[in-house]
Every structure is written in structure tokens, then in C-alpha cells.
A = this chain, B = another copy of it.
């Protein structure tokens, strides 16, 4: 944190749940922030031993022991999505703050339960919508909500990857990440969160078209981690989840949005992009060039706004690229800062309420695809009354 002379994060004791790619990213971020990581636990003692060795951490014998360790004050839930709810509820019951991976749960119901539990427990929560951790994304929100573009009426975005391009590509996500969906819940949730975060608007109606490039894939007979290739023998696996999704979404305030999602888009690695159009200008952000915003106007000039040199999420001078590991560190740093009390004028990260909003988006997309028509996301209204998802806290 070269130029960072703010008050250092409060001492806390963190527990890491999970041993995959993203768990490693959490571990490194915590180490970087100087936050003690007390140990790791995964689904089985064998996996835990392996993760502990890889991350240089103490293994816990089982989840219960880990979650109830009094030294632990914060739980980082990096387990697969279908066990997020169980872990998070147990953690909240034990009075721990929870920093959960996304998606928060595999249904709106699961997410609602967690939101309620967190409120009851009085604990702080976060969902790792990592891309809020880029300074430029925070600036993007300030531009959009600060009125620099005039009245916002239109948005386009996409999240395209190619790591599942071939039918020999496999990962546990191919089964389903949440709500019977994969691409929407896995990466669409990031784009959905980004759009809500940047505009401050809620999606109201949605139409989805899904497609599956490979109805059958080859599943390796061993375990495979995300972003890695398995070797050796395989068996046929019938794919029920979408490889690609196109979404038309109408947001409150009359914003029309179009989103494209794919995990089979050759040449696109982690190509998340959002462009927002207003009556006076437009602004575009691309994750693969995360420190730039492209501003468009009616004049014959285009402007590239580089990362804000004095933003709290900027730690290196202009021209010294900061990337994904820095974004995740920023999100985690912010979470720990908040544990010490309200932080004035602060960048905003996602909470369980935001995780719930993403679940509604995902379920809406699935329902629309099933029915082949527009669906209203208004069913969320009841829950919205008890869980004000629009209250974006920082």
C-alpha cells in the first residue's frame, strides 16, 4: 500500500472456507493487508490438508470447529455456491462477520434467509462482487449518478469468456451455479451487480434467451479446479445449463439495458464491459483495461479518463497498472475498514442485500427463458419491503 497512510485496518482474525482459485485470492489479499488468517477448512480433511499446504495455513479439522473458533471474527466463504447458505448461516449464528463469495445462494429464498439472518445477528456482510474494487468503477458510478451524462436512459454490457469453449472443458459450474443457471448466475451476476451499482437503479422487467453450445460435454473422472484443465479419462455429461445468454432488461427510471453473456466466446478471456448512455454523454468501462473510462460526447472529441490518482482504491501512481488482485484487495480492505465503524465518503462494496438482488436477477432470467417472454421482477417487491436492497451501503 505504497501511498496509503490511512488508519490501518482493525486487527481481526479471519477464517478461510474453501481451497480453490478464489480462496487463494482471498488468502493473498488478507496477507497483503496484514490481516491474520487463522486457518482454512474445506469439504473434507484431505482437501483441507492440501489447501493448508498450498496456502501455508493451519488446517481446521471440520467446518463446525472452524466456524466456532472464538479467535475467528470474520469468515471468508469461498466454498462452492450450493453450500454458501449453510456456511454463512452457521457463521452468523456464531456471531461472525461474513465475507461471502458470489452467488450468495442458489435461490432468492436462500439469499433472503441470509439477509434476514445477518440483520438478526447484527453482523457485517459482504458479497465478493470484485469489480467494485476498481477505482475506475467507483468513478464510473460517480459520473453516472453525479449527472455528468445528463439523464441516463440506455445501457449495454457484456461478460464474455471462453474457458468453456470446447466440449472437453469441464468444471463443477457446468452442473449449475444457482437457480438452474450457470452463465447467468456465475458471471451475469457480476454484470447485474455492476449495472445496479453504477446506476443506482433496480431491474423491473427482463427478457432472456439462453443457448447451449454443447448439450453434452466430457467430464473428467477426477476433480477439476476453475480455470484449470483436467487430464485423463472422461465420461459423457448432459449439460442442462446455458453456455450463452442474451438479456433485455428494463430498469427503473426508464433505462433500457441489453446484456450479453457467454462462457464459450472464443478470444474473450474475462471480457466484462458496461457502457452507460445519457442525454449528454456516454461512458464505458472494460475490465480488461480496468483503469480507464472512455467518455463519449457529441463533439468530435473522445476522452479517456485514467484512474483517479487520489481515489482511496488507487495505491500506485498513474501508469503503474493495478489489476484484479488489487481490486479484490480493495474490496476486502473496505470490508475490514467498515468493521471499525462507519467510514465517511467511502467507496461502496456489495452486501448480502446486493447478493439477494443478484439472485432475483438470475431467477428472473431463468423464468423468462422458461416461458419465452418478458417477466416482471416485481415479485421481489414483498421481500424488498423487508430487505431494502436499494440501500447500498459502503
Interface residues of A (CB under 8 A from B): 1-5, 8, 21-22, 24-25, 27-28, 31-34, 54, 56, 149, 153-154, 156, 158, 161-163, 165-166, 207, 209, 211, 213, 227-228, 244, 246, 248, 250, 256, 258, 260, 262, 264-271, 277-282, 287-290, 294-298, 300-309, 315-326, 372-374
Residues of B within 8 A of A265 (CB): 154, 277, 282, 296
Copies in the complex: 4
Are A269 and B319 neighbours in the complex by a CB distance under 8 Å? yes
> A26 — nearest CB in chain B belongs to which residue?
B2
By a CB distance below 8 angstroms, the chain B residues around A278 are: 266
Q: Which residue of B lies closest to A35 (CB)?
A: B31
Report B-chain residues with C-beta under 8 Å of the C-beta of A260.
156, 258
Inter-chain contacts of A295 with B (CB < 8 A): 267
Main secondary structure, interface of A, reads loop
CB distance from A205 to the nearest CB of B (A): 10
Which residues of chain B have C-beta atoms less than 8 A from A323's C-beta? 316, 320-323, 326
CB distance A374 to B374 under 8 Å? Answer: no
Say yes or no: B300 contacts A282, CB within 8 Å.
no
Q: Which residue of B lies closest to A166 (CB)?
A: B298
Closest chain B residue to A1, Cβ basis: B28
Residues in B whose Cβ lies below 8 Å from that of A324: 316, 320-322
Docked Cα-Cα span, A264 to B309, in Å, equals 18
